[in-house]
């Protein structure tokens, strides 16, 4: 159980004590994995607490839900406000905010798509997702579990059930002593980590798998593509073979929780000659400034969190 003294969870417009944020064991999402979620970060910035790329996360949540026939009963603006209110009510920084869309009422039957759709939003303290040493480089294993193909389920959707293969891949890698798994797509090309996108650098160009590898279109990935372009590096989204990854000059994971994590080794093959490599370091430096509101070029990626006094009464309406 997480220590959660004084914390609140936003559930369908109400702020509920962390300890009381329960749902029925026969809820549809629990049984069939039909629920969609987001992972969002709030940071301390020069301008005060702020959420990174809030509208992008909320837009992806709405698309994820649409792809699983779950009409969210809130507008994008209402969801954004609820995320801000949750952050304000919890005052944890840096925080990891988890909105989840689910069918919480008792209902068995796989194809039940009519139950009430709910939204809950919780915030937890953010830690180093890939371990304390992750900034110096993580070891990753190419997983025997592949990403499901998009003809099996909408891989674009950040859905609970989509994470079953990520779970198996991640546990397999961890049991073998690695920090993370790298999943290949159904054609054997590099897709992504169990909870991150992946990049490589070769000959001063930045590469990442494209949507054709059935990846989640990460918001950190999008930010890194922008930063790399702004730094003057050509960026290429394409199919990436295992060979290309193993012989890359540099490689790194990107994700909201993992942020930017350099990869030092893949399945016992060292990547490049130093970790983090020079281009990863440059991108990481700009990314860090962006999340702290220290680079005017990227302050539009941040949404200020209102103060508690303003936020809580609005949540109770
Ligand atoms: C499977 C998977 N791919 C990629 C990502 C990175 O996405 P984002 O940068 O939007 O967090 C995540 C993180 O949530 C993920 O779980």
Superfamily of domain 134-298, CATH level 4: D-amino Acid Aminotransferase, subunit A, domain 2 (3.20.10.10)
Q: Which residue shows structure tokens 């941040």? A: 302
Query: Which atom of ligand 1 is closest in space to residue 197's alpha carbon?
Result: 4
Answer yes or no: pTM beyond 0.85: yes
Give ranges for CATH 3.20.10.10 in the chain.
134-298
194, 138 in Cβ contact below 8 A?
no
Q: Ligand 1: which residues within 6 Å by Cβ? A: 39, 166, 192, 195-197, 216, 218-221, 254-256
User: Residue 128: its pLDDT value, please?
Assistant: 82
**Ligand 1 geometric centre to CA of 256 (Å):** 7
**Ligand 1 geometric centre to CA of 218 (Å):** 5
Handedness of CA 280, 286, 287, 292 (dihedral sign): positive
Give ranges for CATH 3.30.470.10 in the chain.
8-126
Which residue's alpha carbon is nearest to atom 15 within ligand 1? 195
Binned average pLDDT, 10 residues per bin, the chain of 317 residues: 80 97 97 98 94 98 98 98 97 94 95 95 91 86 97 96 97 98 98 98 98 97 98 98 98 97 97 96 97 97 80 40
Which residue's alpha carbon is nearest to atom 7 within ligand 1? 218
Show which residues are catalytic.
158
Q: What is the CATH number of domain 8-126?
A: 3.30.470.10
User: Residue 135: its pLDDT value, please?
Assistant: 81
Integer Cα distance of 46 and 61 in angstroms: 28
Which residue's alpha carbon is nearest to atom 16 within ligand 1? 195
**Ligand 1 geometric centre to CA of 151 (Å):** 20
Q: Which residues pair with 41 in a beta bridge?
A: 96
């Amino acid at each position: 159980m997480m220590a959660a003294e004084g914390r609140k969870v936003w559930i369908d417009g109400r702020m509920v004590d962390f300890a009381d944020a329960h749902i029925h064991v026969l809820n549809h999402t629990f049984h069939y994995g039909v629920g969609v979620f987001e992972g969002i970060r709030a940071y301390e910035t020069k301008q005060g607490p702020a959420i990174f790329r809030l509208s992008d996360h909320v837009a992806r949540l709405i698309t994820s839900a649409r792809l699983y026939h779950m009409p969210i009963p809130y507008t994008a603006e209402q969801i954004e406000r609820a995320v801000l209110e949750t952050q304000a009510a919890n005052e944890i920084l840096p925080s990891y905010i988890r909105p989840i869309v689910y069918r919480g009422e008792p209902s068995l039957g796989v194809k039940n798509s009519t139950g009430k759709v709910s939204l809950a939003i919780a915030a937890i303290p953010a830690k180093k997702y890939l371990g304390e040493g992750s900034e110096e480089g993580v070891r990753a294993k190419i997983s025997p579990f592949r990403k499901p193909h998009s003809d099996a389920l909408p891989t674009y959707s950040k859905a609970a059930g989509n994470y079953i293969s990520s779970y198996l891949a991640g546990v397999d890698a961890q049991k073998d002593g690695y920090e993370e798994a790298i999943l290949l797509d159904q054609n054997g090309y590099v897709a992504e980590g169990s909870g991150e996108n992946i990049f490589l650098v070769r000959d001063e160009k930045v590469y990442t798998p494209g949507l054709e590898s059935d990846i989640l279109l990460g918001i950190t990935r999008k930010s890194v593509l922008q930063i790399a372009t702004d730094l003057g590096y050509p960026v290429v989204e394409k199919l990436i073979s295992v060979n290309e990854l193993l012989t890359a000059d540099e490689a790194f994971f990107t994700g909201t929780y993992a942020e930017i994590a350099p990869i030092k080794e893949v399945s016992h093959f060292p990547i490049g000659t130093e970790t983090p490599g020079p281009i990863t370091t440059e991108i990481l430096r700009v990314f860090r400034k962006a999340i702290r509101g220290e680079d005017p070029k990227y302050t539009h990626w941040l949404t200020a969190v209102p103060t508690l006094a303003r936020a809580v009464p609005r949540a109770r309406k």
